[in-house]
Structure 1
Amino acid sequence: MKFVAFERAKQGTGASRRLRITGRTPGIVYGGTAEPTLIEIDHNALFHAIKKEAFHASVLEMELGGKEQKVLLRDLQMHPYKQQILHIDFQRVEAKTRMTVKVPLHYSGEEESPAVKADGCIANHVLTELTVSCFPSDIPEFIAVDLSGLSKGKSLHVKDVTLPKGVKFIAKGQENPVLVSVSSVSAEAEADAAAAAAAAAPVDPKAAKAAAAKDAKANAAKDAAKPVAKK
């Protein structure tokens, strides 16, 4: 993907606010051997670009000052409730430097799996992206995950997936996290049905009256056992 950016001279909260009023988004480009560069981008064009998955997980071509350079999106700050991009960060890409990026997972084939098709289970997508390390030329736009082999009672882990050539998974806390878990629909339905039946069951008047009398008798016994306070 390609986009156009322009250098900006002024920085600071006030300058950024005035820039947003004119329909531009402030940003910065850093990394590599060059100094960090302050930039501004047309907000409307940028807002449409961030809706595309490739903008978040692939090497981008940025035109700045008539020259093109390869960059990666590193940070995106959105307004709390407005559809407005407040600030954006890019990192310069160097061909011989490994980079750590987040790549989306694309699941397919679950409808044909034994777990879903034969046993009526549900495939729960636990993770939607993976943090990986690779050279810029090896960064995949997404990682395809085939779920056609899912079976009841088993989960799919990272080590069960073949990553693209040159791509290495970066573990953060878990060496082999679960990507997809399988849950039984019948078990969940039975539990919900039992809870609903218990809540909707009619109350027996005699049983309720007996329970109330038993509680009253127990409370009276407790009160009688309490020591009488001296005056």
Structure 2
Amino acid sequence: MKVVAFERNLQGTGASRRLRNAGKTPGIVYGVGAEPQLIEVDHNALWHALKKESFHASILELEVAGKTQQVLLRDVQYHPFRQLVLHVDFQRVDPSKKIHTKVPLHFMNQETNPAVKLGGAIISHVVNEIEVVCLPGALPEFLEVDLAAIEAGQSLHASDIKLPNGVTLVQHVEQENPVVALAAVPAAAVSAAEGEEETPAAE
């Protein structure tokens, strides 16, 4: 995805307020051994881009003053109650150096899972993103979590996620191996099932 930004010379609360009143969002680009660069981005274009999942988890092509650089979105500050982006941070990436970033999880085949269709189980998505490490060129837009075979009472962990080549879980996630999804049977369904077992068959 491409983002067009402009150099910003003035900083401070007053300058930022004037920018926002003019439909611009102040921001900054930093990293990869270069000086931080103050930028401004069209607010409406940024607002619509932020609604796209891929904007948060992809390498972006940021154009400033005719020069393009690869960046990751690192931070967004929103107004507490208005539909307004107050500030945005981008981090430059080096194509030859690995990055640590969070990738969205897409849960697949939940509707066809036998424990859900026949056993009354409810599958909970415990986390919706996972932190990985990879080269920028290998960064996946999302990772799939296959729920087709999870059984009632079982859980899927981070280690169960199939990772593309060149992508690994960050060390602390790999060590902790957190639960990403679990299939639970509601107490009411369990009671009903037990009641059916206890009811003697009519002669």
Task: Kindly provide the amino acid, as one letter, of the partner of residue 69 in structure 2.
Answer: Q
> What is the match of residue 34 of structure 2?
34
> What is the match of residue 78 of structure 2?
78
> What is the match of residue 63 of structure 1?
63
Task: Kindly provide the amino acid, as one letter, of the partner of residue 183 in structure 2.
Answer: V
Percent identical pairs in the alignment equals 56
Structure 2: gaps (5+ residues):
192-203
Residues 173 and 150 of structure 1: CA distance in aligned 2, closer, same or farther (over 3 Å):
closer
> What is the match of residue 184 of structure 2?
183
- Counterparts in 2 of 1:3-152, with a 5 A limit? 3-152=3-152
SS at 1:165 equivalent: coil
Instruction: Give the TM-score normalised by the residue count of structure 2.
Output: 0.89
CA contact (8 A) 1:7 1:37 kept: yes
Higher-Rg structure is 1
Instruction: Give the TM-score normalised by the residue count of structure 1.
Output: 0.79
Q: Deviations over 1:76-135 (max 9, x none)?
A: 000000000000000011111111111000001012122112212000000100011111
- Higher relative contact order, chain-length normalized (CA < 8 Å, sep 6+): 2
- Which protein has the bigger helix share? 1
Higher mean C-alpha displacement, 170-179 vs 6-15:
170-179
- Which protein has the bigger strand share? 2
Residues 155 and 190 of structure 1: CA distance in aligned 2, closer, same or farther (over 3 Å):
closer
> For 2:75 and 2:89, how far apart are their aligned partners in 1?
5
Residues 133 and 66 of structure 1: CA distance in aligned 2, closer, same or farther (over 3 Å):
same
Residues 173 and 106 of structure 1: CA distance in aligned 2, closer, same or farther (over 3 Å):
closer
Cα offset, 1:18, TM superposition: 1.1
Q: Deviations over 1:133-183 (max 9, x none)?
A: 111001100001111011111111111121111111122596110011111
Structure 1: gaps (5+ residues):
192-231
Alpha-carbon RMSD across the aligned residues, in angstroms, is 1.5
CA contact (8 A) 1:110 1:150 kept: no
